Structure 1
Amino acid sequence: MKRRDFVQYLCPSMAVLTLANACVQADEPVMVLSTSEIQEFERVSTKYNDEGYFQEGNQVFVNLSNPAYSKLGNNLGYVNILDAGVLLLRTDEKTLKAFSNCCPHQGIRGAWDLVNGRFRCDNHGNSYNVNEVNVVSCSSNSVSGGLQRFQVLAYQNYLKITKG
């Protein structure tokens, strides 16, 4: 069975928030977790705060079972993990993406809306794409472009986001 057929066959039957490694967007590589990566998820399993995340250096671990992430069950649902500096976005039933929540214009982090598939900063109304096109950095005074995307690794109902 080809990978694409496998993903189309298997993924729809899985629960929305059960993110298996095989259920990634068809044009992204399948990630097979190493033993050390699984051990890392297990190591932090007791460290999540009431908001359902744990930050360690440039890594943010997210427990998708926490009610704070229920919006991610819907396509184009998003959550702003304000203190961790991350916007999480479900782009389709199989894909979660993570972006910097720092506005490229003036660095505001807390005021975002998703409008027509773009994040709009409520501070000045500038909007930024999530397609990694013309990525602009935080506080660069840019009024358009793309938000910085972070690497996401999934294991069961958990995510590890690597910033930077």
Structure 2
Amino acid sequence: MKRRDFVQHLCPSMAIFALANACVQANEPVTDLSATEIQEFERVSTKYNEEGYFQEGNLVFVNLSNPDFSKLGNNLAYVNILDAGVLLVRTDEKTLKAFSNCCPHQGIRGAWVFVNGRFKCENHGNSYNITEVNTVSCSSNSISGGLLRFNVVAYKQFLKITKV
């Protein structure tokens, strides 16, 4: 069974059991994962910390079934994975996106709110889009623009975020 068929068949059943957050797609349309990609998810399956994530170099693996990520079941909810440098936001019922949590103005990482589809840094009140328009880098003294977006791949209730 192809991954797309599997997800379409399994996700409605999982929603009944309050595991809808496992039914996510990556930034792009769902595609079949290679055996190597699946092996990578399986390799790290025992390495998640109590907060539900595991970081290895520029990769961040997230276990969405961890209670720390439960609010991502709601549209426009977000989680700041502070130590991993990632803001994870649900943009609609099927999509999770990941962004750098480093404020482009002065590099603050832990003072975010998500309002009207934009991340606002509570340090100086600057807000940044998630549309990849005018992307600005961390600590560049920019007071507007877009946050740097990371690639996301979904597998079962797991995500792999590749930070660039």
Secondary structure, counterpart of 2:21 in structure 1: coil
Identify the residue that residue 98 of structure 2 maps to in structure 1: 98
2:42 maps to 1:42: yes
The one-letter code of the counterpart of 1:141 is N
The one-letter code of the counterpart of 1:125 is G
Q: Root-mean-square deviation (CA), in Å?
A: 1.8
- How many aligned residue pairs are there? 153
Secondary structure, counterpart of 1:72 in structure 2: helix
The one-letter code of the counterpart of 1:158 is F
C-alpha contact 2:71 2:78 (8 A) present in aligned 1:
yes
Q: Cα offset for 1:30?
A: 2.8
1:64-110 Cα offsets, whole Å, 9 max, x none, are: 00000011000001000000000000000000000000000000000
Q: Cα offset for 1:29?
A: 3.1
Secondary structure, counterpart of 2:147 in structure 1: coil
2:149 maps to 1:149: yes
Runs of 4+ in structure 1 over 6 Å off = none
Identify the residue that residue 139 of structure 1 maps to in structure 2: 139
Aligned pairs for 1:2-151 within 5 A: 13=12, 15=15, 16-19=20-23, 23=25, 28-151=28-151
C-alpha contact 2:80 2:101 (8 A) present in aligned 1:
yes
Change (3 A) 1:12 1:45: closer
C-alpha contact 1:11 1:94 (8 A) present in aligned 2:
no
The one-letter code of the counterpart of 2:121 is C
The gaps in structure 1 that reach 5 residues or longer are: 1-5
The one-letter code of the counterpart of 2:21 is L
> C-alpha separation between the residues in 2 aligned to 1:147 and 1:88?
12
TM-score (norm 2): 0.88
The one-letter code of the counterpart of 1:57 is G
C-alpha contact 1:104 1:142 (8 A) present in aligned 2:
yes
Change (3 A) 1:11 1:122: farther
What is the percentage of aligned positions where both structures have the same residue?
75
Q: Cα offset for 1:32?
A: 1.3
